[in-house]
Structure 1
Amino acid sequence: MAIKTAVIGVGALGQHHARILSSLEGCQLVSVVDANMDRAKEIAEKYNTSALQNYREIKNVDAVVVAAPTIYHREISNYFLERGVSVLCEKPLASSVEECDSIVETSQKYNSNLLVGHIEHFNPAVECVFKETQTPGFLEIHRLGVFTGRSLDVDVVYDLMIHDIEISSTLVKSKIENIEAIGVAVLSNHIDIANARITYESGCVCNLTASRISKDKIRKLRLFEKNSYFSIDYSEQSVEAYRIIEENGNKTIKKLEFNVEKKEPLRAELEHFIKVVKGEEKPKVDGISARNAVKVAAEIVEKILR
């Protein structure tokens, strides 16, 4: 039996959720929802489904994607979680730690699946490095984008940097000891460019830079650990890595080769979501992980605005 799904919010990102769900095997896109009814109708016609203006009109679904503006994430997610519907909520999970806690508690209370759209977990280059790295000592991550005028309801920390906050926490696997941060608003009323230095109890240091006002789009992660170096280009889905190898008493630098099979991370994420709904897999990024990322983001913003 097909998993019945709906997408709430079919803007720049939500439209792609609708596109993929409409084509996934074992999945039926029963409706799309948007406050702009003309937009909802446009996407619904494109993917042969029904258009709604109010998410409360959705009936008989197994799973929903929440791709509405962040300020509505708690309201919409809790509505469906309370009804036993599985939810994939786009990042950030919510606008505050308190709202995140509300969503997580609701999912636990009603035993409903909650996944959060930290899409880089499904980037094949990232998946390769997850398998290879052991004890990171230093990370340098840049996520720079051109100004589009979108997602201005949140600052660049919640919009872009949060991807790398969550990825670095997954890689380091240690509690945070200290956070330093700077940032400025340039073209919007919120922080448009930010830098954060996170020190972990393990001794690892992570330097994060995020901008939505850059000339070029750059998505890169560099990781250094004992005897190893990894460089990821998120956009190109490529990995460059080197490791010191000892052979016959001599140390040499060996280039590591990775067979990175390029794919669309969003499609992989939605395929995973459907498998979670079916009970075939456990969430890769659950509500607690996403909540913790929001907590770090909130601390970074607080440091900047102080």
Structure 2
Amino acid sequence: MSQVLRVGVVGAGVFGGYHAAKYAAMPGVVLAGVFDPHPERAEALATRRGGAAFDSLEALLEASDAVSIASPASAHAGAALAALRAGRHVYVEKPIATDLADADAILGEAARRGRVVACGFLERAMFRGMGLFSIRERPLRLEAVRLGPTSPRNLDVSVVLDLMIHDLDLALAVTDAEPLAVEADGRSPVHDRLDEAEAEVNFDDGFIAVLRASRIAAERERRMTLVYPSGEISVDFVARTFSNTTGHPLTPAFRDPRADPLGESLAAFVAAVRGEAPSPLANALDGAKALDLALAVEQAVGR
């Protein structure tokens, strides 16, 4: 695909604004426009970034070759399925859906129509940048902490689908093993949906992932430690620093303040759409697997 790619954005909130800005600056891409159920938000974002403000999803799809879906999580599946049925490629923020039936429907539509579907797991860009995905040694254990202060965003889903799902995806990405058992606990002291959760996931080769997430913490914290037979790699996603005792070479580019996980993820999506890459950083199957495991955590909590 050599022609200019027209990309639309569904959702004119904070993340929709980020997506629109990245596409507007991307070579070979034109921001076709924005759709949001609140027309004034779509108009404001389109005015800032270019493109048109559309009054319906159907009109946006008609004007686009591909779309980014940055709407609330509960609306992801409906917009993704509409886009796929219109023959459009789709980048959808996490979670890919909020139930497995919708995730399976997205997988089926993408396969039938030969469309690219990417899921917005941005930490994969960080792991790729530091070279962690190139390590062939099997990890023994993953420990992750993902905390954030109270925010009005993403309250339509639990903290598991909002925050922990990033670390569940990374756990699935660093091993070929399959999840075998999940134990979890959680609390909802502020919102109707789960605000804090801890989980332990045991995989069929003995790999263990221990995760903690909160969206009512005093401060933002994003840390992960991977334990290998040869040593440990500890990552601070906020400070963009890591320590490494394994002997496996990792690149310090991870520390570069110019690192742009969202830009890299969207560029990988565009490359996959153009046929210049075999897959985006995280595809629809990755999104469905992470959702499946996240829902298993919710079930283990009793939600």
TM-score (norm 1): 0.93
Q: Which residue of 1 aligns with 2:270?
A: 274
Taking the aligned partners of 1:144 and 1:76, their CA distance within structure 2 comes to 29
Task: State the aligned residue count.
Answer: 296
Larger Rg: 1
Aligned in 2, Cα 1:133/1:242: closer, same or farther, shift over 3 Å?
farther
Name which of structure 1's ranges 113-122 and 123-132 shifts more when overlaid on structure 2.
123-132
8 Å contact kept, 1:120–1:126: no
Taking the aligned partners of 1:256 and 1:127, their CA distance within structure 2 comes to 9
Taking the aligned partners of 2:208 and 2:56, their CA distance within structure 1 comes to 45
Q: Which residue of 2 aligns with 1:289?
A: 286
| Residue-by-residue CA offset, 1:186-227 (whole Å, 9 max, x unaligned) | 111000000000011111111000110111111111011102
1:74 and 2:77 aligned: yes
1:224 and 2:249 aligned: no
Structure 2: tracts of 5 or more residues without a match: none
Structure that is richer in strand per residue: 1
Match of 1:188 among 188, 191, 196: 191
Taking the aligned partners of 2:278 and 2:161, their CA distance within structure 1 comes to 25
* Coordinate RMSD, CA, aligned: 1.6
Q: Which residue of 1 aligns with 2:261?
A: 265
What SS does the corresponding residue of 2:253 show, helix, strand or coil? coil
Taking the aligned partners of 2:92 and 2:230, their CA distance within structure 1 comes to 38
What SS does the corresponding residue of 1:143 show, helix, strand or coil? strand
Aligned in 2, Cα 1:19/1:301: closer, same or farther, shift over 3 Å?
same
Match of 1:91 among 94, 99, 106: 94
What SS does the corresponding residue of 1:166 show, helix, strand or coil? helix
TM-score (norm 2): 0.94
Structure 1 residue 259, shift from structure 2 partner = 2.3
Question: Residue 36 of structure 1 aligns to which amino acid in structure 2?
Answer: H
Name which of structure 1's ranges 287-296 and 152-161 shifts more when overlaid on structure 2.
287-296
Match of 1:238 among 222, 237, 241: 241
8 Å contact kept, 2:32–2:51: yes
| Structure-to-structure mapping, 1:43-122, within 5 angstroms | 43-58=45-60, 59-122=62-125
Name which of structure 1's ranges 120-129 and 265-274 shifts more when overlaid on structure 2.
120-129
8 Å contact kept, 1:128–1:260: no
| Residue-by-residue CA offset, 1:47-79 (whole Å, 9 max, x unaligned) | 122112311112231110011122222221111
Structure 1 residue 127, shift from structure 2 partner = 4.2
Taking the aligned partners of 2:238 and 2:275, their CA distance within structure 1 comes to 31
Q: Which residue of 2 aligns with 1:165?
A: 168
What SS does the corresponding residue of 1:203 show, helix, strand or coil? coil
Question: Residue 177 of structure 1 aligns to which amino acid in structure 2?
Answer: L
What SS does the corresponding residue of 2:50 show, helix, strand or coil? coil
Aligned in 2, Cα 1:60/1:48: closer, same or farther, shift over 3 Å?
closer
Aligned in 2, Cα 1:20/1:255: closer, same or farther, shift over 3 Å?
closer
8 Å contact kept, 1:125–1:260: no
**Percentage identity across paired residues of the two chains:** 26
Aligned in 2, Cα 1:71/1:51: closer, same or farther, shift over 3 Å?
same
8 Å contact kept, 2:147–2:214: yes
Structure 1: tracts of 5 or more residues without a match: 244-253
